[in-house]
Amino acid sequence: MIRRLLCFLVAVLTMISVFSLTAAAKSVSNSDWDVEIDFPDEYIVLTTATLSKNTEFIESIGHSKESLRKAMNSGNIIFYAANEKNTKQFHVKCWTTDFSERIGNLHSLSGESREATLDSIKKILVSDGHEILFSNSFTHGESLFLKLAVSVKGDNPFCYIQYITVLAGNFYSLVYYNAHSYLTVAEQKEADSILSALKIRAKGEGSGISVQEIVYFTLVGLVLIGAVFIIFVILRSFLIDYKISKTEPEIIPDRIKIKRNKFGGRKK
C-alpha cells in the first residue's frame, strides 16, 4: 500500500513539474511580423502596446514611456525584455531594407555568395571601434543565422550577442546585452536558449516549427502519457483491492474454551 502511494505521488509530481516548466516562460507574439518567442519569468517583456502598463519599471531604467517608445521604433524593436535590475536585456528586432529584399532568404544562398553576404551583414551591424569577440553561422529550424559576439568599450562598457537572419526579404534579429566588458559562459548559454525559443513564421517559410520544438513536445507528451498511465494503474489497483475487501467474508476463529481444575490442570 505504501509503495503504491509513493508511486502515485511521483506520478502527480511529474505532471506538476512538466506543467510548471511550461508555465514558467512568458510567451509573446507579434502578428505583423509573424514572430513568437518565450522569455524566462525573471524578465519584464515590453511592447509598444504595453508601455503604459509598466510605467514604474520604465522610469526605473531611466526612460519615460515616450522616450522608450521612440527608441523602440527607431531601433526596430518589437519586444524589449529586461530583468528587474536592468543588468540583462533582450531585444527582438524586425526591419526591411533594399539589401534584405535582394537577399530574400539567407538560407537559400550557398558558397561564395553566402560568405560574401554574411561579411556584408557583419559590416552593417558592427560599428567602428567595436571588437568582434567571435562569430559563426548556424541553422535554427529551417533558417540560417549569423551569430556575433561584440565588445563595446567606453565609460560604460558592455557586450552583446546578436543573432540575425533574413527571411522573405526581412531582417529578423535577437540581441542580448549585458552590463560589463566580458561575456560569461552562462550568459552565452542563456542567450542561446532564448534564441532556441524564437519562432519566425514568415510568409512562404512553412510552419516555423524547429526540430528542437518537435523533440521537446514529443518528450513532454511521452512524460504526460506515462504519468497518466501510472496514475490509472494505481487507481485501478486501489479499486480492485477495495472491492475484494468488501466481498471477502469476515473470518473469525472459533474460540475454544479450556476448562481448568482448581489445581491449574486441565479437566479430561
pLDDT digits over 52-111, tens only?
Answer: 999 999 999 999 999 999 999 999 999 999 999 999 999 999 999 999 999 999 999 999
Segments in the chain below pLDDT 50: 10, 12-13, 16-23, 204-213, 252, 256
pLDDT for position 204: 46
Is the distance from CB of 119 to CB of 148 less than 8 angstroms?
no
Q: Where are the domains of the chain?
A: 1-30+210-250, 31-209
pLDDT at position 42 is: 95
pLDDT digits (tens, 9 = 90+) for 185-203: 999 999 999 999 999 987 5
What pTM value is reported for the model? 0.69
For domain 31-209, the question of CATH label 3.40.1000.10 is answered with yes
